[in-house]
Structure 1
């Protein structure tokens, strides 16, 4: 189902990922229970088979072991909890689940207000300098492929 993405991941130097760091299904279920919704299928596939990645000085947020979740800045739920603690954030972005915050003037997030028939959330790009939000990809798999293509010249 994600063969094209898996092939790109084998050959890319744009995205740094570490083999053998996939997450356990029980960790995903625990995170979903707290969030109150299922994570998109392509993101779940990524988490189980790859689990992590670095790009442009930032990490694509993943799910870490529960015992590290209270302080791991690469954990999706940890970052979400920090965001929820900010009242302005909740009122301005009630359906935003951060995904990737590179060392730049943009951030990428799942828009959890709508999903397609497969359960995929669109990934939005928030241009912090201009305070603009645009759709970047329709699925997490498309998001990763686009990042790889843009950073690889492909």
Structure 2
């Protein structure tokens, strides 16, 4: 199902991840309980098989070990909790789960209001310079493939 993505990841130098830092199923389950919904299947596949990554100066958010979740700024729940504490942010973006913030010009997030029949959320790009939001990819796996293609170094 993700064969093309696996091939790209095996040959890229643009994205870095730490081998053997995979996420445990129980961490994903804990995160989903707190969030109140299931994370997209392709994102869970990524977490279980790769766990984490850096690209273009930013972390693709992960699910950290529960004991570090309150301090790890690469953890999707940590960032989500910070966002929820900002009432203005929550009023403006109630269906946003941040995923990747590579620099000050853009950020990527799951659109929680648009779950498809496979349980996938689209990944949206927020162009901060132009104050525009648009769909970047239909699924997390397509998001990763597109990022790899745009930062081609394989």
Cross-structure match for 1:83:
83
**CA distance in structure 1 between the partners assigned to 2:142 and 2:5 by the alignment:** 8
TM-score by length of 1: 0.98
Contact 2:12 2:153 in 1 (8 A): no
Contact 2:110 2:121 in 1 (8 A): yes
Cross-structure match for 1:122:
122
Give 3-state SS (helix, strand or coil) of 2:102's partner: coil
Any unmatched runs of 5+ in structure 1? none
Question: Deviations 1:45-85 (Å, cap 9, x if unpaired)?
Answer: 00000000000110000011000001100000000000000
Q: Which runs of 4+ in 1 moved over 4 A?
A: none
**CA distance in structure 2 between the partners assigned to 1:43 and 1:36 by the alignment:** 16
- Superposed displacement of residue 9, structure 1: 0.4
Q: How many residues align?
A: 154
Contact 2:13 2:153 in 1 (8 A): no
- Superposed displacement of residue 104, structure 1: 3.4
Give 3-state SS (helix, strand or coil) of 1:101's partner: strand
**CA distance in structure 2 between the partners assigned to 1:30 and 1:153 by the alignment:** 36
Any unmatched runs of 5+ in structure 2? none
Give RMSD over aligned pairs. Answer: 1.0
**CA distance in structure 1 between the partners assigned to 2:153 and 2:2 by the alignment:** 21
